[in-house]
Homo-oligomer: A and B are copies of this chain.
Amino acid sequence: MSVFDIGFKYGATFYESLRTFKHKIFKLDEHLARLERSLRYVGLVSLINKTEMAEIIEKVLATNIHLTEKDDDVFISVEVTPGVGFPHPLMKQKEQKPTVIVYTSPLPYEEYAHYYIIGKPAVIVNVRNVPPQTFDSRSKNRSRLYFFIAKREAMKIDPDAFALLLDLDGNITEGTGANFFIVADNTLYTPTTRNILNGITRQTVIELARKMNLPVVEADINLYDVYNADEAFFTTTTYCILPISRVNGVTMNKEIPGLCTRRLLTAWSEMVGVDIVKQAQTFMEKRKLIW
């Protein structure tokens, strides 16, 4: 891509991360609706047409899916920028042509498959999540220097750990690309969407839980809540639900995954018709053999 692309010059790239289950894209409409909202927030909704985007994405998938084994699935990346902006990035926007990047890649099982079993550690970092007055995290974008710093800060403390970011008031917000839940007294608690990405996996987990009669509360959560919780997990597009073993070194789940986490993982697998834990284990092992 061009070094003069506004996506590169301003971090003004808006994106969605999708995946397939049984070779079908999961919640494509929801992802495109969110992408549209991300763009409308910055006044660029005219850059895309949802129908056209859906066609492109399906076409890219159709072209590449033969590379994927029948029981495996793929990751799909969709990125939109306002296009090349040299030399006056914001002045001449009439004929502006967006840059659209769509590609598939194997699911990165080696990053998470074993954490279904042993749990993922999380570390609360010093860097704080961006406040909505600067920009709204619900507009999913690539001005993510603070995520980059957060990830490196977490890895310095524990090479295995994901970062967990607080907001400026000290409430827990999200991981770097993952939403966060705790379970206490058979109730799910997750931060409100004020300072976080309104994750589609997060929303799906909330709906699954409610169907299972697990109450879900969206509320401010802080360290006292986390340390005294029974279970904790991350959610994101690729691994769906990932149990957390400890936060800041404090053990979370007595067993991994905890009871509610396990029930949610099972419910998810049933919903999509794929045993997501087994799939991740299987294909991580296969790749090891190949590589």
* A128 with B136: CB separation less than 8 A: no
Interface residue from B13, B136, B152, B228 paired with A37 (Cβ < 8 Å): B228
- On chain B, the residues within 8 Å of A124 by CB distance are 126
Q: A224 near B12 (CB under 8 angstroms)? A: no
**Bound-complex Cα distance A40 to B103 (A):** 33
- Do most interface residues of chain A lie in helix, strand or loop, or is the interface mixed? loop
Chain B residues lying within 8 Å of A153, measured Cβ to Cβ, are 248
Chain B residues within 8 Å of A272, by CB: none
Q: Smallest Cβ distance from A67 to chain B, in angstroms?
A: 14
Given that A10-B147, A37-B228, A143-B145 are contacting pairs, would A127 and B131 also be in contact in the complex, using a CB cutoff of 8 Å?
A: no
Q: How long is the Cα–Cα vector from A141 to B138 in the complex, in angstroms?
A: 22
**Cα distance A166–B131 in the bound complex, in angstroms:** 14
**Chain B residue at minimal CB-CB distance from A42:** B149
- Residues on B with C-beta less than 8 A from A7 are 8
Residues of B within 8 A of A40 (CB): 227-228, 250
- Give A33 Cβ to nearest chain B Cβ, in Å: 10
Give A9's nearest chain B residue, CB to CB.
B142
Whether A126 contacts B126 in the complex (CB less than 8 A), given A139-B224, A250-B43, comes out as yes
The answer to whether A128 and B138 have CB atoms under 8 Å apart is no
Hey, which chain B residues are within 8 Å of A91, CB to CB?
111
**In this assembly, does A108 line the interface, its C-beta being within 8 Å of a C-beta of chain B?**
yes
Residues in B neighbouring A11, C-beta threshold 8 A: 11, 142-145, 148
In the complex this chain forms, how many copies of it are found?
Answer: 6
A259 CA to B9 CA in the complex, in Å?
A: 36
Q: Judge whether A222 is part of the interface by a CB distance below 8 angstroms.
A: yes
Q: Which residues of B contact A248 (CB under 8 A)?
A: 126, 153, 156
Q: Is A65 an interface residue (CB 8 A)?
A: no
Interface residues of A in 1-44 (CB under 8 A from B): 1-3, 6-13, 37, 40-43
With CB as the reference atom, state the residue of chain B lying closest to A136: B224
Q: Tell me whether A222 and B136 are in contact in the complex, defined as CB-CB below 8 angstroms, given that A8-B7, A43-B152, A248-B156 are known contacts.
A: yes
Cβ-defined contact, B145 with A12, below 8 A: yes
Task: Please state if B170 and A146 are interface contacts (CB–CB under 8 Å).
Answer: no
Query: Within residues 86 to 141 of chain A, which ones have a CB less than 8 A from any CB in chain B?
Result: 86-88, 90-91, 101, 103, 105-106, 108, 111, 124, 126-136, 138-139, 141
Pair B127/A224 contact, Cβ less than 8 Å: no
7 interchain pairs, CB-CB under 8 A: A10-B144, A10-B147, A43-B156, A124-B126, A128-B131, A135-B149, A157-B157
A interface list, Cβ under 8 A from B: 1-3, 6-13, 37, 40-43, 79, 86-88, 90-91, 101, 103, 105-106, 108, 111, 124, 126-136, 138-139, 141-149, 151-153, 155-157, 166, 168-170, 194, 220, 222-224, 227-228, 248-250
